[in-house]
Amino acid sequence: MIGDRDYKPKWAREIERFIAIKPQFLLYGNIGDVYPAELGGVTVTLSLPDYLKELLANLGYAMVASYEPMTGFSLLHGDRGTFESLTGETLGPGGSGPAPLDRAADAAEALSACSVGHAALILRYASRIRDLYCETEADSFFYRMFRLSMESSPRMSPDTGSSPKYNPLFWIADKENDLPPWYATGNRHIHALPIPRPDNEIRSCIVEAVSPKIPGYGDMPPDLRKSNLSLFRDQTTGLLAGEIAAIAQLAWHEGLSFGQIGDAIRRYKLGIQENMWEKLDRERIMNAEAFLSLRVMGQGAAVRHASDILKRSRFNLSGAQFSRYSQRPKGILFLAGPTGTGKTELARAITELVFGSSTHCIRFDMSEFGHEHANQRLIGAPPGYVGYDVGGELTNSIKQNPFSVVLFDEIEKAHPRILDIFLQILDDGRLTSGRGETVYFSESLIVFTSNLGMFEQADGTKRPRVTPEMSYDEISANISASIDEFFKYGINRPEILNRIGKNVVVFDFIRPETAREIFGCMMDNLIFRLDDGYGIKILFEGDALGRIADLVCADLSMGGRGIGSGMEIFFMNPLSRRLSELHSGGSASYSVRGIRNAGAGWELDMG
């Protein structure tokens, strides 16, 4: 019998309360899970039909039968002969075999009128009835069951003499609206009960039931065992009871002890065994600032903050101040400031530093998500809509590769409703797709970029709010104030800014000395490609390289991208023209002596 422990689900207690006043029940939602029950002093997990069988038997029901369209009837509890004489069905080892709906209706009516003891019938897979049968058969069945709900009456038990109860019919469906609206809506004779995912108490019971099967559980000191039980319960928030049991099986199968239960949970959620964060080379992370500075020049504050996050992530400290077992992303960066200063490049450099390849960077241009319903591209369309089975771009990408840097470029251009999905990502480290699948961001690093604060509207005109003439401290203060204003008053989403916290990093303008460094790197890349690919060596005489650098770096309003464009105008295009004239094949060496404006374009003096 099911015991009276506190963990009995609310819906089970409602069945006990309403079985004397309702002839039919509709159970929907989490119907395919398992549920904890105390049988003989031992906590076990049961499927929904078996749980109902034990619950009803505990209430004095002498017979509990089940029907499903393809396999027909089976007797879960009670006397086989009595069931067969009441219903006219013949039961074999696997049930009665396929039985059409009219026989199910006959059996439901017979069991409802049973006077030799209380009986109940469970109709499984009710959501599939209209898919498996023609409209006439299905409507006829629903009509007979509807009439049965109106005509049923509670009965006394001839054996116990307890208070009268109905011989109920239980519908097991995926959703509440899987039954015809005319049947369930407003029908006071049917009691709809949603079955939710396991709450904290149910998870505690499941954890306590399955943990003793994990190696090392019995050898662990009581205090440490209690701590790991709490970890097991807390880190399985949102999971089904059956998934919690599967984690215990995974731990046993892969030889993980109870002290490694956190690793077993991570493997189950992510579907992978390796932890790439734990494999990070210590020297590589210790030198992160130097590595990032080679890729992102002149942005010391941003590079320093990013390297601190990487060092923190290596020891899994992200969110540790809020919870011992935080599942938040490994790190959060909000990169703001002038365009072309290296915000996107920093995200790519972090990806290469941590994962060894930029393919682990998942980038979303948020200017493409300005429409209210564009969030469906990220998480997938809801059930019933076109593309529901495809999933979302973001959820699919994280499911395939949870070890990623997720870059959201120009976040301010997204619709405010799109930003709401970041609340769950930044707080809980997870997101549910339109298909109902949960993906986890606990192994990801989240990077936002933004150009907020660069301009302001005044008298109908747009003018700069920050300029290169300002000091970095002035630029940082102005842009930070604009970001605060945007989230708090512009889109009324202060909770998003609160979750980003102090991870807002403002980039400086590209200063002249930094521009020269960037120019030097670009020139080195270009010269190396010519030498490596074609055996062409480029040399510079006199002040030719300095003259080209002056032209390329004269306009820094577009940052690093502007320097790249200047390289094309002042060097790459004239160099290509001259090489086309001079180079006939094979290895060669050419000297650049100067550059001049020929009216129709710039020309190099070289030979």
Does residue 353 contact residue 338 with C-beta atoms inside 8 Å?
no
Q: Write the pLDDT tens digit of every residue in 468-503.
A: 999 999 999 999 999 999 999 989 989 999 999 888
Question: What is the pLDDT at residue 374?
Answer: 84
Give the pLDDT score at 601.
82
- CATH code, domain carrying 524: 1.10.8.60
pLDDT at 389: 64
What pLDDT does residue 535 have?
92
For residue 402, the SS3 value is coil
Q: Which residues contact 265 (CB under 8 A, 6 or more apart)?
A: 232, 235, 236, 247
What tokens appear for 145 in the block? 């069951």
Partner residues linked to 457 by β-bridges? 462
Q: Are residues 501 and 521 in the same domain?
A: no
Candidates 151, 125, 131; CA nearest to 28 is 125
**Distance in angstroms (rounded) separating the CA atoms of residues 607 and 592:** 7
Share of the chain above pLDDT 70, in %: 94
Lowest mean pLDDT among 156-170, 210-224, 283-297: 156-170
- As a whole number, the mean pLDDT across the chain is 88
Helix then strand count (H, E) for the chain reads 25, 20
DSSP string, 404-416: -EEEEESGGGS-H
Residue type, 85: S
Q: Percent of the chain beyond pLDDT 90?
A: 53
User: 282 versus 509: which is more confidently predicted?
Assistant: 509
Residues 184 and 250 in one domain: no
Let me know whether 305 and 361 are in one domain: yes
Q: Average pLDDT of 134-144? A: 93
pLDDT band of residue 1 (cuts 50, 70, 90) is: very low
Do residue 191 and residue 223 come from a single domain? no
**pLDDT top residue among 2 and 180:** 180
Q: Which two tokens stand for residue 233?
A: 């319960």
Is 156 found in the same domain as 131? yes
Shared domain for 378 and 494, answered yes or no, is yes
Give how many domains the chain has, as a whole number.
Answer: 4
The reply to whether 202 falls in a domain is no
In a domain, 18, yes or no: yes
Residue 103 predicted with pLDDT over 60: yes
Task: Name which of 140-154, 230-244, 321-335, 413-427 the model is least confident about.
Answer: 321-335
The pLDDT value given to residue 447: 93
Residue-level pLDDT at 95: 78
In a domain, 4, yes or no: no
pLDDT tens per residue, range 555-570: 888 888 899 999 999 9
pLDDT of 568: 94
2 located within any domain: no
Q: What are phi and psi of 311, to 5 degrees?
A: -65, -40
Residues 315 and 361 grouped into a single domain? yes
pTM higher than the cut 0.95: no
CATH of the domain at 87: 3.40.50.300
The structure tokens 């409802």 sit at 112
* Tens-digit pLDDT profile for residues 46-93: 999 999 999 999 999 999 999 998 889 999 999 999 999 999 999 888
Residue 570 pLDDT: 93
User: Is it the case that residue 372 has pLDDT exceeding 90?
Assistant: no
Q: Is residue 440 part of a domain?
A: yes
Statement to judge: residues 110 and 235 lie in one domain: no
Chain segment 336-360, per-residue pLDDT in tens: 999 889 999 999 999 888 887 777 8
User: Mind listing the pLDDT tens digit for each residue in 7-17?
Assistant: 688 999 999 99
- Among 482, 506, 530, the domain boundary falls at 506
* CA–CA gap between residue 428 and residue 440 (Å, rounded): 9
SS3 sequence of 531-589: HHHHCEEEEECCCHHHHHHHHHCCCCCCHHHHHHHHHHHHHHHHHHHHHHHHCCCCCEE
In a domain, 186, yes or no: yes
In this prediction, residue 305 has a pLDDT band, given cuts at 50, 70 and 90, of: confident
Residues 295 and 388 grouped into a single domain: yes
Among 118-132, 165-179, 589-603, whose mean pLDDT is lowest?
A: 589-603
Mean pLDDT throughout 141-161?
Answer: 84
Of 255, 258, 290, residue with least CA distance to 273: 255
Query: Residue 182 is part of which domain span?
Result: 10-195
